Amino acid sequence: MGLPITDNEMKTLNEDVQLVSDEYGKYDLDMHNGDYINTVGLVTLRNACIIAIMTRLNEIKNETYQDFGCRVHDLIKGNKTKMLVFNLESDIDETLNNMRRIKEVNSLEITEDEAESYLVEFSVTSINDEIVKGSVSL
């Protein structure tokens, strides 16, 4: 479980940018007239999980996001072995468990798809005891 959350921080945890997926499970920020589209509710936690997984560790350089991101990008180019999948699962699990909004990672499964990329499917319990499921392609 992540760091304790103050009341002021709790107010901002249910706001995030909207993500849009293509037919291959790849995500990008949803924009309209050059502005980000915001979203609220449980979809924000799903989006936050996807953003954390898809961001390289320490790619964002500021005080708020120290040690933010995931190491999968360093591993993904390795030889496709069971050890690689284990390391991907371990790093994604650590990334999700370090998020302030997540109480528990319920499940995490990584499978290789036809395009020879990896499909990551996850289920987490929020700090408000709500379950969120999502997937992302690496």
In single-letter form, the type of residue at position 15 comes to E
Per-residue pLDDT reduced to its tens digit, 82-138: 888 899 999 999 999 988 889 999 999 998 876 678 889 999 998 888 899 988 888
Measured distance CA(134)–CA(116) in Å, rounded = 20
| Angle, vertex CA 65, rays to CA 16 and CA 3, nearest 5 | 85
pLDDT at 63: 75
pLDDT at 1: 46
Mean pLDDT, range 23-42, rounded to an integer: 73
Q: What is the DSSP letter of 116?
A: S
Measured distance CA(124)–CA(53) in Å, rounded = 13
Measured distance CA(1)–CA(38) in Å, rounded = 26
> Is domain 7-137 given the CATH code 3.10.450.40 in the classification?
yes
More confident residue, 102 or 19: 102
Per-residue pLDDT band at 15 (split at 50, 70, 90) = low
Per-residue pLDDT reduced to its tens digit, 33-90: 877 777 777 788 888 898 889 888 888 777 767 778 898 988 887 777 788 889 999 9
Residue 108: what are its φ and ψ, rounded to 5°? Answer: -150, 120
